[in-house]
């Protein structure tokens, strides 16, 4: 079969360690399923600031653009936190999203059986929670005009939040598509009682809903959604919302599952192109010690196989292998009850490879 090109961005902190394990898994699926991949590594985030003087070097963007998909570890760390804006890893993150047109961020929040007790929620509340947050990723207040100006009350800072019909329509359509392939329920989250962008959002979502008569649509105000996620997490199927609300709600949703160290995410553009990364951060405190859990990154690779390449067999095999290794009781230290029995990052990767 055709050779698929994957841009691999290890990034900072535990990024390189977890990405290395995902690359082992990539190799294993080539052997088992006969798929062919070509990987190309690129610098991004803090390490790119250190080595190239910018979080998103032009050549990294080139590598990503000539690839079919991107696998990203994690970026950032205290070392760059006080840098000026242009020299911060986050700036690279916003830049890559915009440059690659990744307008949609999918964050499944599921509960792993072996981590049920890790949640701060009661097990009976969590029972059956399996939702996905579809977050608009290249619009809204993140990318609107920002400036300062003098005012009579001291300096004034301004951020602008804007959405046009086309931007809302494409993300809404994608959320309806996803919902129609799941349990057929879509919660559109906005603040239509206050914001003009939310009123436009709601109008467009309602218009798009006409094409999806089998998807049950509800509109939830963002403050209410923050509450309902806590009160009835299992009642949500797909949640679609704008960039800033999605940032907050997807983190809340991920945390309530207790499984944040195991969650994968996909950022998609037009067509099948996508960037895949674990939900967790770069965890600089445990970097380089073989303590990191590579499962979220490995599951992000599985998501890439499913969503970008349509390699459902390989995706399912990876997910089954992860489940099998966990069922056999193997744990990295972040998820081990008995830390003394914890295995290392590479041992976990090897076990998953063996199970494929």
Ligand X SMILES: CC(C)[C@H](C(=O)O)[C@@H](O)C(=O)O
Q: What is the C-alpha to C-alpha distance for residues 246 and 228, in angstroms, rounded to an integer?
A: 15
Interface pattern 104-123 for its own copies (x via CB under 8 A): ----------------xxx-
Among ligand X, its own copies, none, what binds residue 196 when CB lies within 5 to 8 Å by partner kind? its own copies
Q: Which of 272, 322, 316 is nearest to 101 (CA)?
A: 272
Considering the complex, state which of residue 1 and residue 231 has its C-beta at the smaller distance from its own copies.
Answer: 231
Query: Residue-wise over 27-38: b if at least 16 C-beta within 10 A, else e?
Result: ebbeeeeebebe
Q: What is the C-alpha to C-alpha distance for residues 307 and 305, in angstroms, rounded to an integer?
A: 6
**In the complex, minimum distance from the CB of residue 340 to its own copies, in angstroms, rounded to a whole number:** 24
Q: Residue from 51, 86, 127, 156 that binds its own copies (CB under 8 A)?
A: 156
**In the complex, minimum distance from the CB of residue 247 to ligand X, in angstroms, rounded to a whole number:** 4
**In the complex, minimum distance from the CB of residue 267 to ligand X, in angstroms, rounded to a whole number:** 9
The answer to whether residue 191 is catalytic is yes
Interface pattern 242-261 for its own copies (x via CB under 8 A): --xx-xxxxxx-xxx---x-
Contacts of 73 (CB under 8 A, 6+ apart): 9, 10, 11, 12, 14, 15, 16, 17, 18, 19, 277, 278, 282, 297
Whether the CB-CB separation of 180 and 201 falls below 8 Å is answered with no
Residue 116 is labelled as binding a ligand: no
**Residue 239 found at the interface with its own copies (CB under 8 A):** no
10 Å CB burial of residue 279 (0-12, 13-18, 19+) is buried
Residue 313 is labelled as binding a ligand: no
Considering the complex, state which of residue 135 and residue 330 has its C-beta at the smaller distance from ligand X.
Answer: 135
Whether the CB-CB separation of 46 and 89 falls below 8 Å is answered with yes
Q: Which of residues 169-188 bind its own copies (CB under 8 A)?
A: 169
Whether the CB-CB separation of 239 and 187 falls below 8 Å is answered with yes
> Which chain residues interact with its own copies by CB under 8 A?
88, 90, 94, 120-122, 125, 141-142, 144, 146-148, 151, 153-167, 169, 191, 193-197, 199-201, 222-224, 226-227, 230-231, 244-245, 247-252, 254-256, 260
């Amino acid at each position: 079969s055709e050779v698929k090109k994957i841009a691999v961005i290890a990034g900072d902190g535990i990024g390189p360690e977890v990405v290395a394990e995902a690359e082992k898994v990539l190799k294993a699926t080539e052997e088992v399923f006969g798929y062919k991949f070509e990987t190309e590594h690129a610098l991004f985030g803090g390490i790119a600031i250190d080595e190239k003087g910018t979080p998103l070097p032009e050549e990294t963007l080139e590598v990503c653009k000539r690839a079919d998909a991107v696998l990203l570890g994690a970026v950032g760390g205290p070392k760059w936190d006080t840098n000026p804006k242009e020299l911060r890893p986050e700036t690279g993150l916003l830049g890559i999203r915009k440059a690659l047109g990744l307008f949609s961020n999918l964050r499944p929040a599921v509960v792993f059986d072996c981590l049920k007790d890790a949640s701060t929620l009661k097990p009976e509340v969590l029972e059956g929670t399996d939702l996905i947050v579809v977050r608009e990723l290249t619009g809204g207040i993140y990318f609107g005009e920002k400036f300062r100006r003098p005012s009579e009350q001291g300096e004034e800072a301004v951020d602008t939040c804007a959405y046009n019909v086309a931007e809302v329509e494409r993300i809404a359509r994608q959320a309806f598509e996803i919902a129609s392939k799941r349990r057929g329920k879509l919660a559109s989250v906005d603040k239509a009682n206050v914001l003009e962008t939310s009123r436009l959002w709601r109008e467009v979502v309602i218009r798009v809903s006409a094409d999806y008569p089998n998807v049950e649509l509800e509109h939830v105000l963002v403050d209410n959604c923050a509450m309902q996620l806590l009160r009835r997490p299992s009642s949500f199927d797909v949640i679609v919302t704008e960039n800033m609300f999605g940032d907050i709600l997807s983190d809340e949703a991920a945390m309530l599952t207790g499984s944040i160290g195991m969650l994968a995410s996909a950022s998609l553009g037009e067509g099948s192109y996508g960037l895949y990364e674990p939900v967790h951060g770069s965890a600089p405190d445990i970097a380089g010690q073989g303590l990191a859990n590579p499962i979220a990154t490995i599951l992000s690779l599985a998501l890439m196989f499913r969503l970008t390449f349509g390699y459902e067999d390989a995706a399912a095999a990876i997910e089954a292998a992860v489940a099998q290794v966990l069922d056999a009781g193997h744990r990295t230290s972040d998820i081990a009850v008995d830390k003394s029995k914890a295995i290392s990052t590479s041992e976990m990767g090897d076990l998953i490879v063996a199970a494929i």
